Amino acid sequence: MRKTSIKGAVPLIYMSIFLMVWAAFLLLYPKARREEAAATSVKVKVGMALPQRTRGTWAQALSRLSDESGSFELVDRGDAPEILLCPSDRLPEGYSVAGMLEIPPTKLKIADWQGAIGDGEKILLCVCKDECRIKEVVDLIEEKAVSALPEINLSFAGDIIPSRTVAKQMRRHGVLFPFKDMAPYPSQADLAWGNLECPLSDRYPSPGKGVAFIAPSETVRGLELCGFDVLNLANNHSTNFGTPAFLDTLSLLEERGIRYVGGGRDKEEAYSPLFLEVKGIRLAFLGFNCVAGSLNAGPARPGVAWVDLPPYGSFDREDEELVRRKVEGAREKADFLVVSFHWGEEYKHKPSPFQVRLARIACHAGADMVVSTHPHCVQPVELYGDSLIAYSLGNFVFDQMFADYTREGFVLRCRLRGSRLEEVELVPYLIHDYCRPVPMDAAATRRFAAKMREISGL
């Protein structure tokens, strides 16, 4: 008979020892502990009971965290989530509060003055059971969810009218001359918006006087220097030289990759929202003109989006419903919605009751921001609910040098955290040489900050 070597028996001995240890483990390890260990391999279910206005943004942040950690998954409310994100005033039945996301009030900066507008926001992290694995996910969301929201920087500039004396200065000093001093402020943003109140076309020369405006097509280089991504055409001067020059403007902007809103080749285009995605956040823009003098778009007629508003028209229920319907429609498809109105009386620092009413109608319908133009001077900024209203940004590029209030304006810079306004900054300037905005010096900035705080009630 062949003898078994000791060397060959060693692996069998080790295997026998391992099996005996494993059997002892199964007998001695408490069943409850085994069940808990098994449970930790199952992802925690996280759901949301948040308003539609913010749900998409938080879903994006939580999806990013879920991918990074692998410890939880997003589910619908009906799939019995173990963690539920809820508004602070709505604790769902069967859940208890285990944590909270605190979003501070919106910061408002004007030069070296800084304040807060609004009340901030609190989101409850509610749980339906007390388990270690759930508590770990709550802690993770508390620590990282807010920072997982993308940061987006937006800039808004007021009336751009590169005609009349501005056109003369461009011929003398170059087409970039009116734009170059303030260009860094809008161009640094992820998205920049401006109010183009003048057709860009070479069909007609720019007149040296009057209130019918047109600028040469090469003016678009100045707009590009400022980095404008979106230009509002819903105003009383973009159609000054008729349909051909207006259509030239649309074609030129399209060729240069600059989007426009509030105007179009027909009524459908003029009244439709513009949607743009920035860092995963879907932004929407609408524009309406309320000042007489425009060619208003029809079913087959190029022009701008029009809404009646005093002092240039009556404001009735039909106009109110039009604005509400258009804003609500855009809100359904957007994470953040900007609505602009070209409105009000010239040279008045106080908005009319009609402006206030229309702005608030837009906010109630879903506008996150109302950014407006026309008075050729600045008007207040306010936070209405969670929505920012800037009633007038003032002139940006124009030749009105007859008073300090027509020379001053501000670039509105906004920082979003996801779809929520985190910080709003007013960057003031003074128009020089009948054409070019220049950042204010320190003394002028302090005076401007005091003025804006006074008229805004801050």
For residues 243 and 391, state if they share a domain.
yes
The residue segments making up the domain with residue 144 are 40-105+119-148
Q: How far apart are the C-alpha atoms of 232 and 341, rounded to whole Å?
A: 9
What's the average model confidence in pLDDT over 102-130?
Answer: 87
pTM of the full structure: 0.87
Provide the pLDDT confidence category of residue 34 given band limits of 50, 70 and 90: very low
CATH number of the domain bearing residue 77: 3.40.190.10
User: pLDDT tens digits for 385-398?
Assistant: 889 999 999 999 99
User: pLDDT tens digits for 133-145?
Assistant: 899 999 999 999 9
For residues 74 and 166, state if they share a domain.
no
For residues 100 and 197, state if they share a domain.
no
For residues 339 and 416, state if they share a domain.
yes
CATH number of the domain bearing residue 420: 3.60.21.10
User: Does pLDDT of 26 surpass 90?
Assistant: no
For residues 288 and 394, state if they share a domain.
yes
For residues 187 and 263, state if they share a domain.
yes
What contacts 246, CB < 8 A, 6 or more positions away?
A: 199, 238, 239, 263, 295, 302, 303
User: pLDDT tens digits for 162-211?
Assistant: 999 999 999 999 999 999 999 999 999 999 999 999 999 999 999 989 99
For residues 128 and 174, state if they share a domain.
no
Q: Mean pLDDT score of the chain, rounded to an integer? A: 91
In a domain, 22, yes or no: no
Number of domains in the chain: 2
Q: CB–CB of 175/219 below 8 Å?
A: yes
For residues 183 and 205, state if they share a domain.
yes
For residues 369 and 411, state if they share a domain.
yes
Helix, strand, coil % over all residues of the chain, rounded to 5: 35, 30, 35
For residues 65 and 170, state if they share a domain.
no
Q: Which token pair is 207? A: 């007149």
